[in-house]
Amino acid sequence: MQAWRTVQFVMTGMKHFTKSGYEKHAKEWAKAPDDVMQRSLRGRTAVVTGANQGIGFQASVDLARRGCKLIMVCRNQGRGEEARKKVQEASGNDDVHLHLCDVSSLDSIQRFVDELEAQSAPVSILVNNAGVMINEPRPSADGFETNFATNTLGTFALTRRMLPALRRGAPARVITVTSGGMLTEPLEVEDLEGKRMSKFDGTKQYARNKRQQSALCERMAEVYGRDEAAPVRFYTMHPGWTGTEGVKNAMPDFDKSMGDKFRTLEQGADTITWLALADEDKLEQGGFYLDRKPWPKHLTLARTSYSSADVDRLWTQLETMAGLVGTPAA
């Protein structure tokens, strides 16, 4: 079954996830032009995690160009400050700010959220972009496997902790940058840290994490997305196969094989901006997007579907790990 998924994934990816796939999809938009990407975000606040490089950096530039107050969330002061200045220069927007947070650390997440709460800051757009693919098991500051700690647990905890700020900034949107790699994996709820793998596989663990992100987005849309008094909407998106330093470092063979087939950063980040700007009634709550349109969450006959009980189990475990049991949602 894994081999079947892989074959389908590669075929789908070469057709749709590459630069040529983006260009093909963009031609479809040209047939029905609209003003979505020309809209303003003035008066709104956006938070982007993993904002100092790659897709997170490009999304920061694109959002800042539309006039919002931008909070760039980065792990490193020096690299973050350098990126902040570059975003200001590229966007012509001086209202760009740096906050430090390591999304793999629950204490770091809490400190960042406390900073926002101390200012009673409203947030209208949260882009969960921070992510890692590490090819050997490595513990986080909290003792969890680092891929899982960052991609799944940390992203879940940050989103939950930020719900009060998102309610203040409503109507708000949470856009999580996931990956088409999730199409190769079912929802893992038993072995969250990859301890039962015969040999730890960072690529497999990353794909599992991305499937978990998608399932959690669906559940958050159900649980938190129905409050019409202070609406928060939830979406995931796949940036396609985009040339980044992260891909180069984590998947050097794939990086070399792709060459000029990779998307540009602008192409990879495009749908993030589109999801921040598009009319809410034209978007699918909890939907998974590629190139400005909903994309199937499962490959044909891949046996990657899951039950509500599976998501319940994942949710409950994450709440316990993150210290969120019994805490108010917003």
The catalytic residue positions are: 206
Q: Please give the helix or strand (H or E) that residue 274 lies within, else none.
A: helix 265-277
Which strands sit side by side in the sheet containing 45-49, from one edge to the other?
Answer: 96-100, 69-74, 45-49, 125-128, 172-177, 232-237, 288-290, 293-294
Q: 286: alpha, beta or left, given left = phi > 0 and alpha = psi -120 to 50?
A: left
Which residue, 128, 130, 129, 150, is CA-closest to 140?
150
Q: Please give the helix or strand (H or E) that residue 22 lies within, else none.
A: helix 19-30
What single-letter DSSP state applies at residue 74? E
What residue type is assigned to position 2 of the chain? Q
Whole-angstrom distance between the N-terminal and C-terminal Cα of the chain?
41
Torsion, CA 163, CA 128, CA 205, CA 324, rounded to 10: -20
Torsion, CA 92, CA 292, CA 264, CA 61, rounded to 10: 20
Task: In whole angstroms, give the CA distance from residue 246 to residue 53.
Answer: 9
Interior/surface letters 225-253, b for 16+ CB within 10 angstroms, e for the rest? beeeebbbbbbbbbbbbbbbebbeebbee
